[in-house]
Amino acid sequence: MIDVAILNVTGYAGAELARLLSHHPDVRIVAVTGRSAAGKRLGEVFPHLARLDLAIETETERGDLAFSALPHAAAAETLLPFVRRGVPVIDLSADFRLRDAAVYERWYRHAHVAPELLDRAVYGMPELHRDAIRTAGIIACPGCYPTAAILAVAPAVRAGLVNGDVIVDAKSGISGAGRGLGLTYHFAEANESVSAYALDGHRHLPEISQELAALREGVAPAVTFVPHLVPMTRGILATCYAPLADGLRGRDDAASVLRAAYERAYTAEPFTHLVETPPATKHTLGTNDCLVHVTVDPERRRMVAVAAVDNLVKGAAGQGVQCMNIRLGLPETRGLEAAALYP
């Protein structure tokens, strides 16, 4: 049994880590922290986690492995002692996702707390970085939007089947905005409404750009990313558009070529699957699955790729657990086998 700590269990991502880890046969949650609720029992804050019978602490040093669901900046600061002691950490914040501290600083508007550690961090997307995750000291789990966006287009970019002019139009359930209150997330405001936001640039954009740029020599994708709020609790659907590469544009079988590349990319993946019809987010509810569909707009010679994930599972806590399994040498699906909750 591995002893794990969850830092900041009181948000949705932290609670989801606790839910998933509570089912995990090889793991024991030894500590959970959360400033605002420190001193309470976990079950007082989250009735569905009452069985865990844990007290929420202000901070902890325990754990053979630590998950952080802290916000950026706080995450890096709080994880430093773990990293220094050689305890592997899995961070759900943005603090260790961007390779370049200057990019981080531009988007997050403060200096990075520990830029010297960026070299030791691995972007925690197993489909792209599985080998590096096995030995990483710091695993920086992707944001929810980047998970869907990157998995939707990576096989095409890597295989050079599209040019880099990518548009990501993403639709997210409201839990993606977290447990903090705000008029935008007030039920009567968010319900029965769809809207776009962050048109001047969302912080998840540099992650998407960074990861796509690393896929193929000489291609630097120019990504436009527009997130939307839709009135549901969980789920992200990323609809992605990119012009076919020159070689593919004239070919009648472009869609088949694309599908073959995706099939190759994902056939061995335990959670990311190519599907024959456009996926519904409902089919990922509560699971670590990412369902990807790819096709070609026949008249416009443009790839359209769609990915569906549960933003709190594959888009956050579940991907963290998947990374943990890889890091600890456990079967990758351990603790993540449950089928989606349907309907």
Looking at the annotation, which residues are catalytic? 144
In whole angstroms, the minimum distance from the beta carbon of 191 to its own copies comes to: 5
Q: Is 210 in the site for its own copies (CB under 8 A)?
A: no
Task: State which of residues 230, 244, 290, 321 lies at the interface with its own copies (CB under 8 A).
Answer: 230
Nearest to 75 by CA among 65, 60, 90, 88: 90
Q: Is 217 in the site for its own copies (CB under 8 A)?
A: no
Task: State which of residues 38, 55, 77, 197 lies at the interface with its own copies (CB under 8 A).
Answer: 197
Instruction: Considering the complex, state which of residue 134 and residue 273 has its C-beta at the smaller distance from its own copies.
Output: 273
Q: How many alpha carbons lie under 13 Å from residue 192 in its C-beta half-sphere?
A: 2
Task: State which of residues 85, 187, 250, 252 lies at the interface with its own copies (CB under 8 A).
Answer: 187
Place of tokens 């335990």: 270
Q: Is-contact 333 325, C-beta < 8 A? A: yes
In whole angstroms, the minimum distance from the beta carbon of 42 to its own copies comes to: 11
Task: State which of residues 36, 38, 39, 48 lies at the interface with its own copies (CB under 8 A).
Answer: 48
Instruction: Considering the complex, state which of residue 265 and residue 294 has its C-beta at the smaller distance from its own copies.
Output: 294
Q: Is-contact 9 66, C-beta < 8 A? A: no
Q: Is 106 in the site for its own copies (CB under 8 A)?
A: no
Instruction: Considering the complex, state which of residue 137 and residue 243 has its C-beta at the smaller distance from its own copies.
Output: 243
In whole angstroms, the minimum distance from the beta carbon of 117 to its own copies comes to: 28
Q: Is 24 in the site for its own copies (CB under 8 A)?
A: no
Q: Is 191 in the site for its own copies (CB under 8 A)?
A: yes
Nearest to 332 by CA among 289, 299, 296, 281: 289
Amino acid making up residue 101: A
Q: Is 12 in the site for its own copies (CB under 8 A)?
A: yes
Q: Is-contact 235 309, C-beta < 8 A? A: yes
Binders in 293-332 for its own copies, by CB under 8 A: 293, 295, 297-300, 302, 304, 306, 308
Q: At a CB cut-off of 8 Å and minimum separation 6, what does 77 contact?
A: 113, 114
Q: Report the C-alpha gap between 108 and 73 in whole angstroms.
A: 9
Q: Report the C-alpha gap between 124 and 66 in whole angstroms.
A: 14
Instruction: Considering the complex, state which of residue 78 and residue 322 has its C-beta at the smaller distance from its own copies.
Output: 322
Helical segments of 39-143, H only: 42-45, 74-84, 101-108, 126-133
Q: Is 152 in the site for its own copies (CB under 8 A)?
A: no
Q: Is-contact 281 57, C-beta < 8 A? A: no
Q: Report the C-alpha gap between 225 and 144 in whole angstroms.
A: 13
Q: Of the ranges 65-73, 134-142, 154-162, 289-297, which one interacts with its own copies (CB under 8 A)? A: 289-297
Q: Is 174 in the site for its own copies (CB under 8 A)?
A: yes
Amino acid making up residue 8: N
Q: Is 102 in the site for its own copies (CB under 8 A)?
A: no
Site string for its own copies, 252-281 (x = CB under 8 A): -----------------------x--xxxx
The Cα angle at residue 153 between residues 149 and 158, in degrees rounded to 5: 135
Structure tokens at 325: 């399994």
Cα–chain-centroid distance for residue 301? 30
Residue count, binding to its own copies (CB under 8 A) = 79
Q: Report the C-alpha gap between 66 and 188 in whole angstroms.
A: 37
In whole angstroms, the minimum distance from the beta carbon of 160 to its own copies comes to: 20
Q: Of the ranges 136-144, 155-163, 232-240, 321-329, which one interacts with its own copies (CB under 8 A)? A: 232-240
In whole angstroms, the minimum distance from the beta carbon of 136 to its own copies comes to: 28
